[in-house]
C-alpha cells in the first residue's frame, strides 16, 4: 500500500509540500486534554494578531481553491474551518484523542491535517482528479459522487476518502474507537511550507511517541519523490521488534 499525489497534481501545484506519517498501535483510551491545551494557546495567540484569513498558510490555500474553481469563502480548507470555529467558540469538539491532537496541531500551524484509518482504505491512496465514477460516504451515511476534475483522495476501489482536496474528509475512513493503524497527511502551499511542514510532522511524531509509545514512520514528499510506501514502513517496524 502506498500514498502519493498524481503527476498531474504536481504539475498543477508545484508549490505543494506534503508531509506523511504512518503509525500502528493507536487506541482511544488515553487522555490528551493537557497536551492539546498548548497548541490551542499557540492558535489563540496567532488569532489575537489577526483573523485566520490573514495567515499566509490560509491565504495560500485560498489561492489554491480559487485555482480549482471553488469559492474560497464557500469551501474552506480544513485548517481554516477549524481556526474559524476555534475563534468563534474558543474550543474545538472532542472526537478521538488522535484526531483531537491533530486538530490542535493543525490550528497551531494553520496547516490542514487529515487522519485516515488505514484498515478502511483499499490498497493505494492517491490525491488526484476525480473521473466522476468514484463514491464518497458522508458522515451522515449518504453516498455522493465527486464531480469530474474535482481533487479527491481516491483508493484502488474507486472510493473517495476526501472531497475538494483538504475540504471534506469521508466518514468511511474516519478514525473510530477501534482504529489501530493510521495514515496522517499534512499539506501546505505557503512560502515557508518547506520548513513548517517538517516541524508539524515532528510535532505529531513526538505526540505519538509520548501518548501511545509509538515510533511513527514519516516522510516528506516532492515531485521527484512523490510516493510513501506504507507496506515497507510496517514491515520494517515488525522486523525491528525483539523476539
For the entire predicted model, the pTM comes to 0.94
* SS3 state of residue 17: strand
Taking the C-alpha atoms of residue 191 and residue 4, their distance in angstroms, rounded to an integer, is 22
Q: Percentage of residues in the chain with pLDDT exceeding 70?
A: 95
Confidence at residue 242, expressed as pLDDT on a 0 to 100 scale: 47
Taking the C-alpha atoms of residue 18 and residue 15, their distance in angstroms, rounded to an integer, is 10
Taking the C-alpha atoms of residue 230 and residue 243, their distance in angstroms, rounded to an integer, is 23
Joined grid coordinates for residue 54: 490573514
Q: Measuring CA to CA, which residue among 12, 7, 59, 37 is closest to residue 193?
A: 59
Angle at CA of residue 194, ends 189 and 197, nearest 5°: 80
**Sites in the chain below the pLDDT cut of 50:** 236, 238-240, 242-243
Q: What is the CATH number of domain 2-221?
A: 3.50.40.10
CB atoms within 10 A of CB 156: 12
84-137 pLDDT tens trace = 999 999 999 999 999 999 999 999 999 999 999 999 999 999 999 999 999 999
Taking the C-alpha atoms of residue 171 and residue 97, their distance in angstroms, rounded to an integer, is 17
For the chain, the structural domain boundaries read 2-221
Angle at CA of residue 113, ends 24 and 14, nearest 5°: 115
Confidence at residue 77, expressed as pLDDT on a 0 to 100 scale: 97
Amino acid at each position: 500500500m502506498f500514498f502519493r499525489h498524481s503527476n498531474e497534481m504536481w504539475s498543477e501545484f508545484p508549490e505543494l509540500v506534503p508531509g506523511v506519517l504512518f503509525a500502528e498501535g493507536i487506541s482511544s483510551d488515553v487522555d490528551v486534554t493537557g497536551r492539546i491545551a498548548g497548541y490551542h494557546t499557540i492558535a489563540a495567540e496567532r488569532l489575537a494578531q489577526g483573523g485566520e484569513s490573514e495567515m499566509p498558510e490560509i491565504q495560500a490555500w485560498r489561492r489554491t481553491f480559487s485555482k480549482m474553481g471553488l469559492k474560497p469563502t464557500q469551501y474552506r480548507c480544513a485548517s481554516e474551518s477549524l481556526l474559524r470555529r476555534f475563534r468563534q467558540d474558543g474550543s474545538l469538539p472532542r472526537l478521538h484523542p488522535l484526531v483531537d491532537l491533530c486538530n490542535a496541531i493543525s490550528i497551531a500551524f494553520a496547516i490542514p491535517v487529515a487522519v485516515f484509518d488505514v484498515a478502511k482504505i483499499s490498497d493505494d491512496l492517491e490525491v488526484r482528479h476525480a473521473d466522476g465514477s468514484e463514491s464518497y460516504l458522508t458522515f451522515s451515511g449518504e453516498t455522493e459522487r465527486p464531480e469530474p476534475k474535482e481533487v479527491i483522495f481516491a483508493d484502488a476501489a474507486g472510493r473517495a476518502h476526501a472531497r475538494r482536496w483538504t475540504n471534506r474528509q469521508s466518514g468511511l475512513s474516519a478514525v473510530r474507537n477501534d482504529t489501530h493503524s493510521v495514515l496522517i497527511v499534512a499539506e501546505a502551499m505557503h512560502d515557508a511550507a518547506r520548513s513548517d511542514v517538517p516541524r508539524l510532522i515532528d510535532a505529531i511524531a513526538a505526540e505519538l511517541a509520548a501518548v501511545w509509545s509509538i515510533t511513527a514512520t514519516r516522510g516528506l514528499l516532492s515531485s521527484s519523490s512523490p510516493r510513501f510506501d506504507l507496506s515497507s514502513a510496517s514491515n520494517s517496524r515488525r522486523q525491528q521488534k525483539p523476539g
